[in-house]
């Protein structure tokens, strides 16, 4: 399965030599997965140099910030990854709902830059991807391609973003500033749910041998980097929350699925703490839940397919959240009128209100799904439900106008704010949830056949092997192998020595 990002040794020494030459010239050092998992181990000279590097600058040292431990300034390291614990006053449940903050990541202010790096590692460190000759193609619903384009640029190679034309204008503005050529932004038809159209565009691009497609939906680097780095970051936060509270349990890990990379952290948390794994999707396109299809606006969670790297047989529950709820809460949390209502009528504090700027649309989806999970399992004050705030509100400012027109007749007032709060928050129930038994898991697993075997030509045995947990656990062996390969590239380039690292 080497074509799916499972290289474990050098495949082309000549390419690697050119890569090392490029890195020497540009002073690029690649971080290991172990360093991103535990950034305190990043060599002191690099940490020192990072102090003068802006977190959103196009500087290769920012690769050493592609982890969950960036502090509030996003320049230094925190002991515990940044997180928000939502109070009962907001959630209506006793369980502790905790979201890690993705907007601390560098360059794109979203955690998907981690997935992009995870997919790049096996290709670049094995000599399969040549940064001096190849173009890196990043198919995505918006944030992954930004992560890929950012990394491509700091490595000095050409990065091409492939994304649906209807994603938020903020994403396109960002891309416009980072790509080498406007032609490197390829707009595919449709929106969030049109992943098939993205695959089709990649099939055409893939015919040119100068293009290397980093398909996050089937690259195991995406799975492994999240299982290793996001899983460990969650563990660190959970240990912190459980300190001095012996009865604390990690009841569930909740993640809305786009490529299903982030869900991989659940495999770590289930192995370590027995946490249930909850996959979330949009109610308007309930593919896992009902074999359904449709359009929605929870940007980042693409659908109408089961990603190849989704460990379906280890998933415990599927929950659907309506984009009407995420859109209307987004307006409520991010407008003066909405905030006035939340303070005056719901008694929410200014700190909590300020924190909402960390929540983009899919973060609100994760929050609502975590509440549903807590209600479904009757969780109490000793239970923790963990999830991610994948990106912040700043990436969706233009959505406020759109949603205000669509749901509030262009004008939000106290009455309509109250309606939205009642409908989207207070009325959160356990509807549209399915606790998976073996047959449910098999049904979802089998649904993936049509995308991967029929459409994408994956051999049947490679498809079927993923039904076994030992396959997924076995992948973990790749991580130290990749780290050795990364260390070899760094040694060959000599760039680390130049940094005294």
Ligand X SMILES: Cc1ncc(COP(=O)(O)O)c(C=O)c1O
Which residue ranges make up the site for ligand X (CB under 6 A)?
110, 112, 115, 141-144, 256-262, 299-301, 360, 362, 390-391
For residues 50 and 35, the answer to whether their CB atoms sit within 8 Å is: no
What tokens appear for 457 in the block?
């030509």
Q: Quote the distance between the C-alpha of residue 131 and its chain's center.
A: 24
Cβ neighbours of residue 439 closer than 8 Å, sequence gap 6 or more: none
Residue with tokens 């606006």: 297
297/299 with CB nearer ligand X: 299
In angstroms, what is the C-alpha Rg of the chain?
22
131/302 with CB nearer ligand X: 302
For residues 127 and 89, the answer to whether their CB atoms sit within 8 Å is: no
What tokens appear for 480 in the block?
């130290």
Residue 170 Cβ, how far from ligand X at the closest point, in Å?
A: 11
Residue 151 Cβ, how far from ligand X at the closest point, in Å?
A: 15
CB-based closest residue to ligand X: 300
For residues 493 and 21, the answer to whether their CB atoms sit within 8 Å is: yes
19/297 with CB nearer ligand X: 297
H or E stretch including 240? helix 231-242
287/390 with CB nearer ligand X: 390
Residue 419 Cβ, how far from ligand X at the closest point, in Å?
A: 26
Burial 224-251 (b: 16+ CB within 10 A, else e): bbbbbbbbbbbbbbbeebbeeeeebbbb
Cβ neighbours of residue 127 closer than 8 Å, sequence gap 6 or more: 10, 11, 12, 13, 14, 15, 16, 19
170/383 with CB nearer ligand X: 170
81/258 with CB nearer ligand X: 258
Residue 448 Cβ, how far from ligand X at the closest point, in Å?
A: 15
105/273 with CB nearer ligand X: 105
Strands (DSSP E) contained in 214-306 are 249-256, 276-282
264/485 with CB nearer ligand X: 264
Residue 127 Cβ, how far from ligand X at the closest point, in Å?
A: 27
Residue 290 Cβ, how far from ligand X at the closest point, in Å?
A: 19
Residue 147 Cβ, how far from ligand X at the closest point, in Å?
A: 9
Q: Distance between CA 98 and CA 96 in Å, rounded?
A: 6
Q: Distance between CA 99 and CA 83 in Å, rounded?
A: 5
Residue 94 Cβ, how far from ligand X at the closest point, in Å?
A: 27
């Amino acid at each position: 399965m080497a074509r799916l990002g499972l290289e474990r040794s050098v495949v082309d020494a000549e390419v690697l030599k050119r890569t090392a030459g490029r890195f020497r010239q540009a002073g690029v050092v690649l971080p290991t997965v172990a360093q991103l998992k535990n950034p305190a181990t990043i060599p002191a000279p690099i940490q020192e140099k990072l102090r003068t590097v802006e977190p959103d600058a196009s500087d290769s040292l920012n690769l050493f910030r592609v982890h969950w431990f960036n502090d509030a300034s996003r320049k230094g390291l925190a002991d515990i990854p940044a997180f928000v614990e939502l109070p009962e006053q907001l959630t209506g449940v006793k369980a502790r709902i905790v979201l890690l903050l993705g907007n601390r990541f560098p360059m794109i202010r979203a955690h998907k830059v981690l997935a992009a790096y995870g997919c790049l590692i096996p290709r670049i460190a094995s000599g399969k991807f040549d940064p001096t000759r190849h173009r890196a193609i990043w198919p995505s619903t918006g944030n992954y391609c930004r992560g890929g384009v950012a990394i491509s640029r700091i490595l000095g190679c050409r990065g091409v973003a492939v994304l649906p034309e209807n994603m938020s204008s903020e994403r396109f503005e960002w891309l416009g500033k980072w790509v080498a050529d406007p032609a490197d932004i390829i707009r595919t038809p449709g929106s969030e749910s049109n992943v098939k159209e993205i695959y089709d565009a990649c099939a055409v691009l893939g015919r040119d041998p100068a293009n290397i497609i980093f398909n996050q939906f089937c690259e195991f680097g995406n799975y492994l980097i999240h299982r290793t780095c996001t899983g460990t970051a969650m563990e660190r936060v959970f240990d912190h929350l459980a300190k001095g509270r012996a009865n604390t349990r990690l009841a569930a890990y909740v993640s809305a699925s786009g490529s299903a990379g982030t869900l991989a952290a659940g495999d770590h948390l289930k192995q370590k703490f027995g946490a249930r794994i909850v996959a979330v999707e949009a109610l308007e396109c309930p593919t896992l839940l009902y074999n359904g299809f449709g359009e929605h606006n929870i940007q980042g969670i693409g659908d109408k397919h089961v990603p190849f790297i989704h460990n379906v047989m280890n998933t415990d529950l599927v929950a659907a959240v309506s984009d009407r709820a995420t859109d209307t809460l987004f307006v409520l949390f991010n407008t003066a009128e909405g905030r006035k209502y939340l303070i005056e009528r719901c008694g929410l504090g200014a700190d909590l209100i300020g924190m909402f700027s960390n929540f983009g649309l899919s973060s609100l989806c994760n929050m609502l799904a975590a509440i549903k999970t807590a209600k479904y399992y009757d969780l109490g004050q000793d239970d923790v439900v963990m999830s991610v705030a994948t990106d912040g509100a700043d990436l969706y400012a233009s959505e406020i106008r759109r949603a205000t027109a669509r749901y509030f007749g262009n004008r939000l007032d106290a009455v309509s704010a109250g309606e939205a709060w009642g409908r989207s928050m207070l009325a959160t129930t356990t509807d549209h949830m399915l606790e998976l038994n073996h047959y449910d898991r098999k049904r979802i697993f089998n649904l993936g056949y049509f995308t991967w075997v029929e459409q994408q030509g994956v051999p049947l045995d490679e498809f079927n092997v993923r039904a076994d947990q030992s396959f997924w656990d076995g992948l973990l062996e790749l991580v130290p192998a990749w780290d050795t390969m990364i260390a070899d590239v760094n040694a060959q380039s000599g760039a680390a020595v130049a940094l005294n690292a």
